[in-house]
Amino acid sequence: MSATPATALPPAGAPAEAPVPRIRVRGLCKAFGAKKVLDGIDLDVLPGTSMVVIGGSGSGKSVLLKCILGLIEPDEGVIELDGRNILALSRTEREAARARIGMLFQNGALFDSLPVWENVTFGLLAQRKLTRHEARERAADFLAQVGLAASVGALSPAELSGGMQKRVALARAIAAQPDILFFDEPTTGLDPIMGAVIDGLIIDCVKRLGSTAVAITHDMASARRIGDTAAMIHRGRIIWSGPAAALFDSGNPEVDQFTHGRREGPIQMELRR
Amino acid sequence: MNPFLDPLAAIGRGVIGAARATGSLALFALEGVSHLLRPPLHWRMFVQALVEMAYFSLPVVALTAIFTGMVLALQSYTGFSRFNAESAIANVVVISITRELGPVLAALMVAGRIGAATAAELGTMRVTDQIDALSTLSTNPMKYLVAPRLLAGMVALPLLVVVADILGVLGGFVVSVMKLGFSADAYLRHTFDFMHASDVISGLVKAAVFGFIIALLGCYQGYRSRGGAQGVGAATTSAVVTASILILAFDYVLTELFFTR
Ligand SMILES: Nc1ncnc2c1ncn2[C@@H]1O[C@H](COP(=O)(O)OP(=O)(O)OP(=O)(O)O)[C@@H](O)[C@H]1O
Ligand SMILES: [Mg+2]
């Protein structure tokens, strides 16, 4: 298996002297029991850029994001936000670091005891940036961003379709305009048009608000749309990273097979063995 | 395979496991209480938990208390000599209800209702990533979910026990007057003669401790549940079972503290 150096390239037009990466991961390892899920992940995401992470189902993409968020304690490795190793911080400092990151969970993770409007504005209410009365009104704006009518705000999450839940969860993740955004499969379960709308929204967050984003996706078209850089996880490691535009002609056999969705190739061979 | 060492090893493993479980429960309790002591308190969550625990438990606790008082009167009538039964029964009913049966039975009923519901709710939140989501939205899950419930437990149970005390005595009164034909005046007089503030207060203190235990076990088991619906189910069961056992154990400890000096 050929492994290319596992650092993300800066996007075209970046200044020559490399800026401090917003997110820097080195040698990240995590095992559940005997099962090694992450086995030495190295990753750099520069400020104001977005990275898409691709990889087979069960390859540890969600676990990677949860490790960076501090929701899963890694076994080994370094995770830096703006050059500060968050694993070495005290608990309160880690909480503060986590509040900088907005996360869209793969399954939405909406609070099902709260109505949609309160879900969407939860972070802002917690930071006391809004009163409940204002939150109720602002919720309509946040919902409109993800293509939902204001009337949805009064419903409870259980009354929504899967795709609607995903969009509410997305609205919740970006409402407080965090400077780091994690999206775990933002467009899975959405129709193609809504998928494109959501992609546009993510691009907007990065370009207009200057956020830094990491998105996991299985949708290659969407990966090329939203990513500046891309990385592929396979067997617990980043086996390739580079500009997202190069996903389809990466020259890496595993990536090639994955992005073109071929049955035959190095990955399939491993599954059969 | 060693016939002497294997049982020993099993006992050792059991003890280590129990010590570990006790330790992690104690740490969880400490963290919860530390969030209670540091403002802010999430009032909305507190009120919600209080209404659920106190108001909606009223029917169950009320029925339990009434029937217990009635049975107590009946049983002590058959047990005691008929001589002076009036004062003896009033005495037995009021002391056993306020000291023991009011707090313990109310707590066991609430443990069944609230312990299970809390564990199921937090367990579901855990396995669907909602607890993780809280911490990405500038909210400490211990402060938001656990601390208000602990406080609600400590407030709700004493309130319920006041009601249970009154209704339990009422149950004994009803049986004594309607069935055993005692004079209502005399029964009430005896009841108030034998009722001591210290009995009532010790019962309320017990109730506060039991309320804390119920909320703590529900939160603890739910918070650390794993593995989907099955894990949540297991958490629910162990929340009720461990809370009930701890209630009875602490009842003994507190009784020892209050009454044997
Ligand atoms: N809490 C956990 N306990 C035990 N094993 C876990 C846990 N979380 C994840 N895993 C295991 O880690 C592996 C990676 O899981 P992860 O959710 O990161 O996959 P993924 O790459 O996000 O897959 P998908 O694309 O299907 O979402 C899986 O094999 C899973 O079984
Ligand atoms: Mg995943």
What 3-state class would DSSP assign to A137? helix
Query: For residue B148, what pLDDT is reported?
Result: 94
Rounded-to-5 percentages of helix, strand, coil across chain B: 85, 0, 15
Per the CB < 8 Å rule, is A102 touching B136? Answer: yes
Could you give the CA distance from residue A4 to residue B186 in angstroms, rounded to a whole number? 94
Instruction: List the alpha helices (DSSP H) in B38-146.
Output: 43-50, 58-79, 85-96, 102-110, 116-127, 130-136, 141
Q: Residue A273: is its pLDDT beyond 50?
A: no
Q: Residue A165: is its pLDDT beyond 70?
A: yes
Query: For residue B230, what pLDDT is reported?
Result: 86
**Spacing, Cα A52 to ligand 2 middle (Å):** 13
Q: Residue A9: is its pLDDT beyond 70?
A: no
What does DSSP assign to residue A176?
T
**Mean per-residue pLDDT for A49-63?**
89
Residue A214 pLDDT level (bands cut at 50, 70, 90): very high
What 3-state class would DSSP assign to A46? coil
**Mean per-residue pLDDT for B54-69?**
93
**Rounded to the nearest 10 degrees, what angle do helices B228-259 and B116-127 cross at?**
140
Peptide bond just before A10 cis, omega within 30 deg: no
Q: Which among B135, B35, B130, B224 has a CA at the least distance from the CA of A71? A: B135
Mean confidence (pLDDT) of chain B = 89
**Mean per-residue pLDDT for A67-95?**
87
Q: Residue B85: is its pLDDT beyond 80?
A: no
Per the CB < 8 Å rule, is B136 touching A110? Answer: no
- Ligand 1 pocket, A63 CB below 6 A? yes
Query: For residue A8, what pLDDT is reported?
Result: 47
Residue A16 pLDDT level (bands cut at 50, 70, 90): low
Assess B237–A contact: CB distance below 8 Å, yes or no. Answer: no
What does DSSP assign to residue B226?
-
Query: For residue B122, what pLDDT is reported?
Result: 94
| Among B126, B130, B131, B136, the residue to mutate for chain A (most A Cβ within 10 A) | B136
**Mean per-residue pLDDT for B70-88?**
77
Query: For residue A6, what pLDDT is reported?
Result: 45
Q: Compute CA distances A213 → A102, A157, B121, whole Å.
A: 9, 26, 32
Could you give the CA distance from residue B189 to residue B172 in angstroms, rounded to a whole number? 14
- Ligand 1 pocket, A217 CB below 6 A? no
**Spacing, Cα A104 to ligand 2 middle (Å):** 11
- List, for residues A167-183, the tens digit of each pLDDT value: 899 899 888 888 899 99
Residue A162 pLDDT level (bands cut at 50, 70, 90): confident
Assess A166–B contact: CB distance below 8 Å, yes or no. Answer: no
Query: For residue B1, what pLDDT is reported?
Result: 63
pTM (2 d.p.): 0.86
**Spacing, Cα A61 to ligand 2 middle (Å):** 6
Q: Which among A156, A170, A150, A142 has a CA at the least distance from the CA of A226? A: A170
Query: For residue A5, what pLDDT is reported?
Result: 46
8 A C-beta contact, residue B81 and residue B28: no
**Mean per-residue pLDDT for A132-137?**
86
Per the CB < 8 Å rule, is B139 touching A126? Answer: yes
Residue B121 pLDDT level (bands cut at 50, 70, 90): very high
8 A C-beta contact, residue A169 and residue A161: no
- Which of A78-92, A186-200, B99-113, B180-194 has the highest mean predicted lDDT (pLDDT)? B99-113
With respect to CATH, is domain A23-32+48-108+172-260 assigned 3.40.30.10?
Answer: no
Could you give the CA distance from residue A78 to residue A59 in angstroms, rounded to a whole number? 20
- Ligand 1 pocket, A61 CB below 6 A? yes
Assess A72–B contact: CB distance below 8 Å, yes or no. Answer: no
Mean confidence (pLDDT) of chain A = 84
- List, for residues B193-204, the tens digit of each pLDDT value: 888 888 889 899
Query: For residue A206, what pLDDT is reported?
Result: 83
**Mean per-residue pLDDT for A201-206?**
84
8 A C-beta contact, residue B131 and residue B141: yes
Per the CB < 8 Å rule, is B133 touching A95? Answer: no
Ligand 1 mutation pick, A29, A30, A38, A61, max ligand atoms within 8 A of CB: A61
Residue B9 pLDDT level (bands cut at 50, 70, 90): confident
**Mean per-residue pLDDT for A105-113?**
90
- Ligand 1 pocket, A188 CB below 6 A? no
Q: Residue A199: is its pLDDT beyond 50?
A: yes
CB atoms within 10 A of CB A11: 16
- Token pair, residue B219, equals 């939160």
- Parallel, antiparallel or unpaired: strands A84-85 and A76-81: antiparallel
Could you give the CA distance from residue A152 to residue A6 in angstroms, rounded to a whole number? 43
Ligand 1 mutation pick, A30, A36, A38, A59, max ligand atoms within 8 A of CB: A59
**Mean per-residue pLDDT for A118-122?**
93
Residue A116 pLDDT level (bands cut at 50, 70, 90): very high
Least confidently predicted of A65-74, B145-154, B178-187, B246-255:
B178-187
Helix (H) / strand (E) element for B155: namely helix B147-174
More confident position, A109 or A2: A109
